[in-house]
Amino acid sequence: MSRTEAGASLSGPGTPTDLYAEGAQGNAYYARVARSEPCVMELVSKLAKEPWTDRPSSVHPVLGAVARTVHDYSSPAGRRALLPLAPSFLATAQAGFESSARLVALCVSAALTSPDPNCITKDERGRLAGAQETALYLLASRPADQRPGGFARWWLPVLDRLNLSESFYRGFVATEHAAEAVAVTARASGGDSDVRLRRLLKQCLATV
């Protein structure tokens, strides 16, 4: 299903929450598990006609990690406000360092410019700085006179030789970096986390 078709399905009969409930009822696992609030990623899996999951394969893994973390740190009302964004996630899965690095850089920037920076610990600042340094290094096409941040300075050259560095970054490293940045943003939002998290998620959607 295309983004346009998915958007039309959400604007037609049945609300996004109705579609979510329909998908959950059709899945044996979710029928046994109480879900406190609808998750936008699960709605995306239904729109994409994939198995009911919060990790649909049609969504970029870093974008999916951002969305799940935004969901986890949003209020019940905030979670429901995310559901209309579901069609925008379709067909965002793509390989390449650029999309992953852009998403990490955006999320880290949001965390470091949060209204209540005193909520960010020294260790978190160090990890976020390393994540940002690595993302900017990758976005700059890995210039010879620069080095990535954190542990990437060791694993990146090793996995390059095995042709695994991009998939490892996209599927594991960048997802963790982005998720931590979103969690920090939520905690340091100064009581306005729903608005800031939804805005951040929309900005992430605009980059892929």
Whether 13 has a pLDDT exceeding 90, the answer reads no
How far is Cα of residue 119 from the mean position of the Cα atoms in its chain? Answer: 22
> Quick check: 19 and 43 in contact, CB under 8 A?
yes
14 domain-assigned? no
Q: Does a structural domain hold residue 186?
A: yes
Per-residue pLDDT reduced to its tens digit, 111-125: 999 999 899 999 999
Q: Is the pLDDT confidence value at 94 over 70? A: yes
Whether residue 31 lies inside any domain: the answer is: no
Tell me the C-alpha to C-alpha distance, in Å, between residue 119 and each of 113, 168, 179, 188.
Answer: 12, 30, 17, 5
Structure tokens at 140: 């700059």
* Number of domains comprising the chain: 1
User: Is 28 within the bounds of a domain?
Assistant: no
pLDDT number for residue 146: 87
| pLDDT over 50 at 28, yes or no | no
Structure-block tokens of residue 18: 């109705």
Angstrom distance (rounded) from CA 53 to CA 45: 6
pLDDT confidence of 30, banded at 50, 70, 90?
Answer: very low
CB burial of 176-200 (b: ≥16 within 10 Å; e: otherwise) equals ebbbbbbbbbbbbbeeebbebbbeb
pLDDT band at residue 41 under the 50/70/90 scheme: very high
- Per-residue pLDDT band at 36 (split at 50, 70, 90): low
Position 102 in a domain: yes
Distance CA 142, CA 136 (A): 9
| SS3 of residue 7 by DSSP | helix
Task: State CA 199 to chain mean position distance.
Answer: 13
Please calculate the CA angle 90-194-172 and round it to the nearest 5 degrees. 50
Q: Give the DSSP letter string of 16-45.
A: HHHHHHHHHHT-HHHHHS--SS--HHHHHH
What's the CA gap between 81 and 73, in Å, rounded? Answer: 13
Give pLDDT, residue 197.
97
155, part of any domain: yes
DSSP 150-204: TTHHHHHHHHHHTT-HHHHIIIIIHHHHHHHHHHHHHHTSTT-HHHHHHHHHHHH
| pLDDT value at 98 more than 80 | yes
pLDDT band at 31 (very low <50, low <70, confident <90, very high): very low
pLDDT, residue 27, reads 47
Residue 6, pLDDT above cutoff 80: no
- Please, what is the average pLDDT of the chain? 87
pLDDT tens per residue, range 160-207: 999 999 999 999 999 999 999 999 999 999 888 999 999 999 999 999
Residue 34's pLDDT band (boundaries 50, 70, 90)? very low
Query: Which domain range does residue 173 map to?
Result: 40-206
Band of the pLDDT at 44, cuts 50, 70, 90? Answer: very high
